[in-house]
Structure 1
């Protein structure tokens, strides 16, 4: 196996903060790119203080900033801007997630940096995109979940709306941004041309909602909030047992027949209420009530064993503590243990794909604020006297 990642030799200048941008550059870093994370003085990336804190480090930050190098530069100062411009001269990629128009005001817009390096791949990751009436709006993941309809289809009729409890739009837009950057790098390999890559949380949310929009076009009906249930299949959801709930998924008649046999209700197979999937969806509430009444007679482990023996997709609803230590997580080496300067034995999830010929190794713990400031500048030929002067002026900061 080649221990160098597929993006070895690619240099990325990262001025992003919070979740979406750092998630994008983490993907590039895990693929072997050198990611220079430029942070603001004193507090750095805002995610450093997003709790809970673990020995002074925000867990949001720890989760999405491995394999990067941190340098602190006051990019609002003229001397700080000059440092960034110098980095851009031989960079391959520049990534920003400022609010619309801010990069241009600061002198870091696409046109500004393309003049310095025409071959640069410039990625802008925003809340609402670069066009339209909402492009100026600030927006976090949950705000855009609401604005794209995702929140409106989550939750239940009884309990109201609910946001998806993971950063589905932040990390989804990060994936699209990474795909866009890699596509642009491939185009540059063939043509020598740099270009701008644009993505946003809003575009990602609209894309995720494709099925629901098509269903609306087909039926004219707004989707209803179904909790753990599925709009197109039944039975499909979480069901209470004698102890803990279980999740089962039935998407065809064959699986429904297996469920009926497991719960001792084979007569349902020919029941007109449940004979086809469309029938079952139509009579979902009644079917769910009948199934749950039976499942409540025995413990979850019993039912999961029976469902698995017959090939019915099913699972316990696992707590975080269980997924970290279960056999499946360990067998696929999903968690990588790495030494952090403050935290011993930090475990971080790797990227959820592997390459048979190329390493995607987590080699470096998330850096402390300014951990690499001095080293990065010295590599670029800046002498110690100049570094000390820049520190004295507050242009840069380092962490010893």
Structure 2
């Protein structure tokens, strides 16, 4: 059965996290992603540690199902080579700072003139307009800029960045959704278009509840650690050995929790009779729950609380997730062949399609691994390829183990 984007070609000149995450999604959906990389260095994420047999783990996670070709886009011959790819491409993705693509000759209007049906995606830090649009920005910086960092962390502690690249990968998702929407539009109209998204817009969107709360109350949202501004009890609690997470969103769940903890009297306590009253008396309630939970271990309590059908979990560390029965049952890891890494397992996209399954069929390519095969597909002759190699316009994969020499 064909993958959803089989037969679609993506020209990817992105680097770091956001753009490659977007094109990884398209590759997993079946598109042929041609990853254009710089000579010698390649994608910056190749050296984002820790390294595994010389390859950065960031790079490994977000660059499967792609083919790598090394082209010097600063050279006129390199630019012409890339422009020749555009003629029969479906999608082009860049994540340059504002104006750089146009200066290089790869702006939307410039490529649209070559291929009117092209879907052009621009993924940036701050968007295509406004006072920040030309500024550089990484995930953590934009977390600060959009207010996410101000509400992340313990109430009495320091602010903290979310320890995963939520805006890089989040904007990648919005970019992919935009591209898929543009493909549907093209099927109806025959027209290509430009898709824009940014880390900043993603951050503002994801703080939507908090911004609306501020508009309604005039009160600045505060850091609450693992807690939740709208519900109580909701957060992490200490047991005799490990911490657990409990989430209560309505009165029925609270009544079940009270019974599970042997504290039926809480149900009729006026401080805890409704969610509003529980939020207003959050500190007293959390202290009362902790006083009960600290008497026994996490497994004991989780079994009782889960039996009452209350959302809860031991707070797991990362290593425990890999072999977790739930992870195994959902088959979130796929082992693939890699020329340098013996047992490389990558997390699949967290979505399934019953009639057009998604696959991780190709390992993250070594730098320049597919340069020759891509050029041959494009009809470039052997003599021209050799000339381009001699001029340094393109770079081919070196022997394994010496890719970065």
TM-score by length of 1: 0.99
How far does residue 332 in structure 1 lie from its aligned partner after superposition? 1.1
- Taking the aligned partners of 2:213 and 2:272, their CA distance within structure 1 comes to 22
| Partner Cα separation in structure 2 for residue 225 and residue 384 of structure 1 | 61
Counterparts of 1:128-143 in structure 2, within 5 Å, are: 128-143=126-141
Give the SS at the match of 2:245.
strand
Match of 2:57 among 38, 56, 59: 59
Structure 2 Cα separation of the partners of residues 155 and 321 of structure 1: 23
- Provide the aligned length of Structure 1 versus Structure 2: 398
Match of 1:127 in 2: 125
- Mapped to 2, the partners of 1:9 and 1:80 lie a distance apart of 25
Matched residue, 1:317: 315
- Could you say which residue in structure 1 is the equivalent of 2:143? 145
In the alignment, what sits opposite 1:253?
251
- 1:308 deviates by 0.8
Q: Give 1:167's aligned residue.
A: 165
C-alpha distance in structure 2 between counterparts of 1:348 and 1:97, whole Å: 24
Distance in 2 between the 1:227 and 1:9 partners? 46
1:262 to 260, 263, 282: 260
Partners of 2:125 and 2:383 lie apart in 1 by: 41
Partner of residue 193, structure 2: 195
Q: Distance in 2 between matches of 1:81 and 1:68?
A: 21
Q: Distance in 2 between matches of 1:94 and 1:398?
A: 23
- Aligned counterparts of 2:266 and 2:343: Cα–Cα separation in 1: 53
The Cα offsets for residues 42-92 of structure 1, whole Å up to 9 and x where unpaired, read as: 010000000000000000000000000000000111000000000001000
| Residues in 1 aligned to 2:283 and 2:223: alpha-carbon distance in whole angstroms | 13
After superposition, residues 187-336 of structure 1 pair within 5 angstroms as 187-336=185-334
Displacement of 1:385 after TM fit?
1.6
SS at the partner of 2:289? helix
Task: State yes or no: 1:38 paired with 2:36.
Answer: yes
2-structure distance, mates of 1:250, 1:73: 54
- Cα deviations across residues 207-226 of structure 1 (Å, max 9, x unaligned)? 00110011111111111100
Alpha-carbon separation, structure 2, partners of 1:360 and 1:244:
37
Tell me, in whole angstroms, the C-alpha distance in 2 between the residues paired with 1:76 and 1:115: 21
C-alpha distance in 1 between matches for 2:248 and 2:42: 48
Q: Report the CA distance between 1:263 and its aligned residue.
A: 1.3
Question: Structure 2, unaligned stretches of length 5 or more?
Answer: 399-405
Matched, 1:184 2:182: yes
1:341 corresponds to: 339
* TM-score, normalised with respect to structure 2: 0.97
Shift in Å, 1:382: 1.1
Alpha-carbon offset, residue 158 of structure 1? 1.6
SS in 2 for 1:132: coil
The offset of 1:289, in angstroms, is 1.1
What is the alpha-carbon distance in structure 2 between the residues aligned to residue 92 and residue 334 of structure 1?
29
What secondary structure does 2:77 align onto?
helix
Q: How far apart, CA to CA, are the structure 2 residues paired with 1:71 and 1:310?
A: 55
Report how far residue 290 of structure 1 moved.
Answer: 1.2
Gaps of 5+ in 1: none
Q: Matched residue of 1:292: which SS?
A: helix
Task: Quote the Cα distance in structure 1 between the aligned partners of 2:115 and 2:51.
Answer: 39
Cα distance, 1:181 vs structure 2? 0.5
Residue 368 of structure 1 aligns to a residue whose secondary structure is coil
> Hey, what's the Cα distance between the residues in 2 that align with 1:5 and 1:364?
14
1:107 aligned to which of 105, 108, 114? 105
Distance 2:155 2:247 in 1: 21
Offset of 1:297 from its aligned partner? 0.5
Deviations 1:139-180 (A, max 9, x none): 000000000000111102221211111111000000000010
**3-state SS, counterpart of residue 33 of structure 2:** strand
**How far apart, CA to CA, are the structure 2 residues paired with 1:377 and 1:263?**
67
| Stretch deviating more after TM superposition (283-292 or 31-40) | 283-292
**Aligned equivalent of 1:78:** 76
C-alpha separation in 2, matches of 1:378 and 1:125: 30
User: Structure 1: how far apart are the matches of 2:330 and 2:28?
Assistant: 17
1:268 alignment partner, SS class: helix
3-state DSSP class of the match of 2:126?
Answer: coil
